[in-house]
Amino acid sequence: MNTEAAGRAGSEPRWRIGQLAEATGVSVRSLRHYDRIGLLVPSGRNAVGHRRYTDPDVRRLHQLVALRGFGLSLAEVGRVLDGTGADPRELLRQQLDQVEQRIVVAQRLRHTLLGVLGALDDTVEPSLPQLVELIEGMTAMQRPLTPEQLEQMVEERRQAMAELSPDELAELARQRQRYADQLSAEELAEMRRGRAALLPPGWGQPTSA
């Protein structure tokens, strides 16, 4: 009597791959991939080979997505779901360690980037070689620029400045302001600290046009 009475046995409302993808946000391609590697093999196929997922399949998919979200590899996810392999809590602890490492590394990189950007924002359109030299000096070399390098950059900057029209200067100032407006107070402070570390004393003040 019901609309589209599905097979009664064991409640098997079967999902098509596209429906499942739409409902879970997992791509069709990913679902096929999980099938191929044996991580999530649909319980059935229809007569022409189309995948049909059952509710338990869907449940496994949810678990898969949750574990994958913790950064486990698909191989690890498979081992956890199948009860093989190490204590999953140990895996989660390792993930925690890795995430904390990643945070530290990313924060260090953020600091360096702010420093370099701070130094660059103090320059007027440095030439590419100059810029690369600056980056090189700040990172690979792990030390501030030498006074001679700096003097040369300053001189070249002065030259470039002198060749700019008032309009161009105004545009540069606007650009810089737009960028500064996007930064938080904390980021600006960090940028200043980074610049201070790179440049010799007395170079901290922005050349307010």
Count of residues interacting with a copy of itself (CB under 8 A): 43
Within 2-41, the residues that bind a copy of itself by CB under 8 A are none
Give SS3 for 83: coil
Among 54, 95, 149, 152, binds a copy of itself (CB under 8 A): 95
Nearest distance, CB of residue 99 and DNA, angstroms? 16
Q: Which is nearer to a copy of itself, 46 or 139 (CB)?
A: 139
One-letter amino acid at 40 equals: L
Give yes or no for residue 103 binding a copy of itself (CB under 8 A).
yes
Residue 149: Cβ within 10 Å count: 14
Full DSSP string of 15-51: EEHHHHHHHH---HHHHHHHHHTTSS--SEE-TTS-E
Give yes or no for residue 49 binding DNA (CB under 7 A).
yes
Among 12, 24, 32, 113, binds DNA (CB under 7 A): 32
| Token pair 């500064």 in the structure block, residue | 180
Q: Which long-range contacts (CB under 8 A, 24 or more apart) does 170-178 make?
A: 170/209, 172/124, 172/125, 172/209, 173/209, 176/121
Q: Which is nearer to a copy of itself, 120 or 164 (CB)?
A: 120
Nearest distance, CB of residue 108 and DNA, angstroms? 19
Q: Which is nearer to DNA, 113 or 183 (CB)?
A: 113
**In 3D, which of 83, 65, 80 has the Cα closest to residue 25?**
65
Q: How far is Cα 135 from Cα 133, in angstroms, rounded to an integer?
A: 5
CA dihedral 99, 105, 110, 113 (to 10 degrees): -150
Give yes or no for residue 98 binding DNA (CB under 7 A).
no
Residues recorded for the chain: 209
Give yes or no for residue 75 binding DNA (CB under 7 A).
yes
Give yes or no for residue 139 binding DNA (CB under 7 A).
no
User: Which of a copy of itself, DNA, none does 19 bind, CB closer than 5 to 8 A by kind?
Assistant: DNA
Diameter over CA atoms, the chain: 90
Binding site for a copy of itself (CB under 8 A): 62-63, 65-67, 69-71, 80-81, 83, 88-89, 92-93, 95-96, 99-100, 102-103, 106-107, 109-110, 112-114, 116-117, 120-121, 128, 131-133, 135-136, 138-141, 179
